[in-house]
Amino acid sequence: MTTTKITRTLSTLTLSFALALGVTACDSGDKADGAKTEDKADDKADDKDKADDKAGEEKPAEEKPAEDAAPAVEVSEEMKNFLAKFDGSDAAVSAALKEFGANEEIADDDMGMYTLSEPKVVAGKDGCFDFEAKAGITVRTYGVCWTDGKISKIEDKGMK
């Protein structure tokens, strides 16, 4: 045999083997799909039976708690005005920090680095408020404390 004939024979054998494997894989997948279909039909029948059994039973109405229902927090006017400045731009956050008293003496915990928008106060106690605000695709949480109408402390509480 010549080299060309050997190469053709090997190519033919390789192709035949690959086709045989492909057919076998397709056949076993069809059987698995059939089994899945039967399982789904059995599950639906079981669900229907359970629903029929429960139809005769009466359940008391259950109230679902609101997911985003945060306890009402009495927010100070200065905190409301501070957060009202957050429009989703770096400049707005920096301007709000400057206007409400954050300076070199009070670390802003890099709050001015983020494009904060849609702020929402989630907790408050003794002149300090925790709020969440969107920052791109994340939500950041900060604690801000007030003294005499000015920011006295800022704490970055991380991402939610």
Eight-class DSSP state of 101: T
Nearby residues of 89 by Cβ (< 8 Å), 6 or more positions away: 115
What are the CA-CA distances from residue 144 to residues 21, 108, 127, 136 (Å)? 66, 9, 8, 21
Distance CA 91, CA 111 (A): 11
Average confidence (pLDDT) over 43-54: 58
Model pLDDT for residues 64-117, shown as the tens digit of each residue: 444 455 557 788 999 999 999 998 887 888 888 888 876 667 777 678 888 899
Indicate the helix (H) or strand (E) that contains 6: helix 3-55
Residue 41, pLDDT score? 59
Contact 100, 116 (CB under 8 A): no
pTM flag (> 0.85): no
54: which 2 tokens?
């429960």
Amino acid at 102: A
* 144 and 151 Cβ atoms separated by less than 8 Å: yes
Task: Please list the residues that pair with 116 across neighbouring strands.
Answer: 135
Helix (H) or strand (E) holding 25: helix 3-55
Contacts of 119 (CB under 8 A, 6+ apart): 83, 86, 131, 132, 133
